[in-house]
Amino acid sequence: MFCWLKLLNPGVVTPTGRVNRLIWGSFSRSLVLSSQRRIPEFSSFVARTKTCGELRSSHLGQEVTLCGWIQYRRQNIFLVLRDFHGLVQVVIPQDESAASVKKILCEAPVESVVKVSGTVISRPPGQENPKMATGEIEIKVKTAELLNSCKKLPFEIKDFVKKTEALRLQYRYLDLRSFQMQYNLRLRSQMVMKMREYLCNLHGFVDVETPTLFKRTPGGAKEFVIPSREPGKFYSLPQSPQQFKQLLMVGGIDRYFQVARCYRDEGSRPDRQPEFTQIDIEMSFVDQTGIQRLIEGLLQYSWPDDKGPLGVPFPSMTFAEALASYGTDKPDTRFGMKIVDISDVFRNTEVGFLRDALSKPGGAIKAIRVPGGAKYFKRKDIESIRKFAADRFNQEVLPVFLKANKNWNSPVANFIMEEQGLGLTRQMEIQEEDVVLLTAGEHRRACSLLGKLRLECADLLEARGVVLRDPAVSSFLWVVDFPLFLPKEENPGELESAHHPFTAPHPSDTHLLYSEPEKARSQHYDLVLNGSEVGGGSIRIHEAQLQHHILEAVLKEDVKLLSHLLQALDHGAPPHGGIALGLDRLICLVTGAPSIRDVIAFPKSFRGHDLMSGAPDFIPPEELKPYHIQVSWPTDSEADKNSLNHPHHPES
């Protein structure tokens, strides 16, 4: 973790591996002022008159009272005091008359909390610290009070040694004092506040709180259950306020938003949290374009000043195009290396597996070009790429290098005919030192594999020093025209919603719902930032009849569970649509934090534990009685099986 002392040195490396050129002073300024039109009064209602971090030469001669933590002490002469706003140097008085003040300031352990009063004075000439925002001044102390003493810390806060995340989570209240956590949480608060201003004050949205104790939704296998005091009856914690926001539209709220707590029980998954937050939005009388323009405006308005302006509108891409060119529904468009269909080049190939692929319906030959791959990749890199393809996709990947002599270097080099070679070079724009990775198979499968390889190769190139993705760039993208349904994984003969059953079909495809629903596209849209999905939404079905058809005839769901929603649609539901932004992920990308756990004050470990308090925890059986439940303790053999499933899962 980023530690405080490092902040005094410019150019230190953050845990994200990026060079961070900001020092504490400029950090603290951006922390407090960015995206705020006026400076809040940070010292109203409290014992201090100023914050440590705000003092400048303009305050010279002022009498101030400061409250903060002892950051460090130098030879019992200076003490650096810290608050959320920054650091300031305090001069420990040495004269006999101030012995009690000196005693307090010299004896208090580091990280103790003190209150000092004194005068802002200039530092002696030559002793200014230009790297510190308050480096021109220091505090001549008159009185000091120890507010609380700090016991021995579990880890040296100043320690340059990186702490394990488990230790950070166990002592989260200490970890929160780090600059990085302060920065992340404050930026999160400010961005959300700006979003609220945009929605509420500029565009008339109504902030409505919806319940979290709700009824199980059809297929809601990932919903936590909460026993009620009625035997056998349970509430469920919803994964999103989806039903409620649609009902609010039926209720004439017109424009709804909520910074909504959502819940998802997925067991152990890295970088997921059992509770998370989304910016949840719904509007009546809106179409897809309306939602897109709203969100672009929202992000533009709330985007931190120091992250550069956002260009709008964001580019848009169909799902089909995203899959074909990037092998994913969330393309990272900060760099090229797009997937190219080279089936035509190899239409007459003699290479067996390429011919096989082309002969099958939907079969194709696809490739990506890695610029400089021949220069930066080692033999073992190529081997591990091929192994990855074989292990995870059961697919063959062929590397193709263009040698300086214009000959090919590839396992299939002998089979590349001249015409094919020229075609390949032309279509892929191959240059010397590039490598082309080529695969063949069913379109979707081949693209997915190359999409994965594209990202692997990008990581590899960057690890070798190639700058591919500018960390200062925020590359937003809309992905649209998703399929409405997908074949069920466990039973491909049946369909399930690609997103959720309330998504409206694409206007041109409504007729397909009654004939070939698997071919219907939807009015769903995803928002992608730098290759991560940060939001998704859709225009919803507002006609009861269509909704009923989809639930019952297409999805074979039990419509009774949703009878209230179907009834609502029948009682004058306006056309409506909405979106939800994943706030944790978005803030994570904006701050450059390595994990969403770094933008959440008290996250769970990836096994869902609160390492600080020890939740979840055992509960005495008598406290379960009012809920009419009892624990089904697993038998020994089940317990063994269970632990086998998680053989090596140390916390975080």
Rule CB under 8 A: which of 76-115 touch a second copy? Answer: 82-84, 111-113, 115
Among positions 75, 95, 124, 151, the unique one binding a second copy when judged by CB under 8 A: 151
C-alpha span between 532 and 526 (Å, rounded): 10
212 near a second copy, rule: CB under 8 A: yes
How many other CB atoms are there within 10 angstroms of residue 567's CB atom?
A: 12
The answer to whether 234 and 216 are in contact (CB under 8 A) is: yes
| SS3 call for 50 | coil
Which residues from 576-605 bind a second copy, rule CB under 8 A? Answer: 600-602, 604
C-alpha span between 361 and 404 (Å, rounded): 37
Which helix H or strand E contains 641, and what residues bound it?
A: helix 636-645
269 near a second copy, rule: CB under 8 A: no
208 near a second copy, rule: CB under 8 A: yes
The answer to whether 183 and 2 are in contact (CB under 8 A) is: no
Q: Given the complex with a second copy, which of 267 and 308 has the nearer CB atom?
A: 267
Nearest distance, CB of residue 474 and a second copy, angstroms:
22
Place of tokens 């608050």: 83
Q: Given the complex with a second copy, which of 231 and 309 has the nearer CB atom?
A: 231
Nearest distance, CB of residue 349 and a second copy, angstroms:
50
How many other CB atoms are there within 10 angstroms of residue 592's CB atom?
A: 17
The answer to whether 153 and 108 are in contact (CB under 8 A) is: no
Closest CA to 504 of 537, 541, 551, 544: 541
Closest CA to 540 of 597, 579, 583, 483: 579
Q: Given the complex with a second copy, which of 219 and 372 has the nearer CB atom?
A: 219
319 φ, ψ to 5°?
A: -55, -40
Read off the DSSP letter of residue 519: G
Which residues from 42-71 bind a second copy, rule CB under 8 A? Answer: 42, 44-48, 67, 69
Dihedral sign of CA atoms 297, 301, 302, 307 in order: positive
Nearest distance, CB of residue 635 and a second copy, angstroms:
11
282 near a second copy, rule: CB under 8 A: no
171 near a second copy, rule: CB under 8 A: yes
C-alpha span between 509 and 497 (Å, rounded): 15
Residues paired with 89 in a beta bridge? 80
Among positions 121, 131, 265, 320, the unique one binding a second copy when judged by CB under 8 A: 265
Q: Given the complex with a second copy, which of 94 and 567 has the nearer CB atom?
A: 567
The answer to whether 355 and 368 are in contact (CB under 8 A) is: no
636 near a second copy, rule: CB under 8 A: no
Q: Given the complex with a second copy, which of 159 and 383 has the nearer CB atom?
A: 159
Nearest distance, CB of residue 263 and a second copy, angstroms:
8
Among positions 166, 253, 413, 466, the unique one binding a second copy when judged by CB under 8 A: 253
Closest CA to 500 of 239, 234, 286, 294: 239
**Contact window for a second copy (CB under 8 A) among 277-285, 309-317, 402-410, 417-425:** 277-285
Q: Given the complex with a second copy, which of 394 and 643 has the nearer CB atom?
A: 643
Nearest distance, CB of residue 484 and a second copy, angstroms:
21
Read off the DSSP letter of residue 485: E
Nearest distance, CB of residue 266 and a second copy, angstroms:
10
Place of tokens 């579990």: 154
196 near a second copy, rule: CB under 8 A: yes
Nearest distance, CB of residue 14 and a second copy, angstroms:
19
144 near a second copy, rule: CB under 8 A: no
Which residues from 427-456 bind a second copy, rule CB under 8 A? Answer: none
Q: Given the complex with a second copy, which of 283 and 323 has the nearer CB atom?
A: 283
C-alpha span between 184 and 578 (Å, rounded): 27
Q: Given the complex with a second copy, which of 9 and 36 has the nearer CB atom?
A: 36
Q: Given the complex with a second copy, which of 440 and 551 has the nearer CB atom?
A: 551
Closest CA to 565 of 259, 256, 241: 241
527 near a second copy, rule: CB under 8 A: no
Q: Given the complex with a second copy, which of 225 and 390 has the nearer CB atom?
A: 225
Q: Given the complex with a second copy, which of 98 and 226 has the nearer CB atom?
A: 226
Closest CA to 21 of 6, 36, 31, 35: 6
214 near a second copy, rule: CB under 8 A: yes
The answer to whether 41 and 35 are in contact (CB under 8 A) is: no
Which residues from 386-425 bind a second copy, rule CB under 8 A? Answer: none
647 near a second copy, rule: CB under 8 A: no
Strands 476-480 and 316-318: parallel
Among positions 86, 274, 399, 501, the unique one binding a second copy when judged by CB under 8 A: 274
Nearest distance, CB of residue 642 and a second copy, angstroms:
8
Among positions 516, 543, 558, 651, the unique one binding a second copy when judged by CB under 8 A: 543
Nearest distance, CB of residue 562 and a second copy, angstroms:
9
Q: Given the complex with a second copy, which of 121 and 544 has the nearer CB atom?
A: 544
Dihedral sign of CA atoms 535, 539, 542, 547 in order: negative
Nearest distance, CB of residue 406 and a second copy, angstroms:
55
Q: At what angle do helices 583-591 and 179-196 cross, to 10 degrees?
A: 120
Contacts of 491 (CB under 8 A, 6+ apart): none
The answer to whether 26 and 132 are in contact (CB under 8 A) is: no
68 φ, ψ to 5°?
A: -175, -175
Nearest distance, CB of residue 118 and a second copy, angstroms:
17
Q: Given the complex with a second copy, which of 68 and 399 has the nearer CB atom?
A: 68
Closest CA to 222 of 176, 184, 274: 274
36 near a second copy, rule: CB under 8 A: yes
Which residues from 602-631 bind a second copy, rule CB under 8 A? Answer: 602, 604, 608, 610, 612-619, 623-625, 627-631
Which residues from 547-576 bind a second copy, rule CB under 8 A? Answer: 564, 567-575
Nearest distance, CB of residue 157 and a second copy, angstroms:
10
372 near a second copy, rule: CB under 8 A: no
Q: At what angle do helices 179-196 and 288-302 cross, to 10 degrees?
A: 130
Number of residues that bind a second copy (CB under 8 A): 142
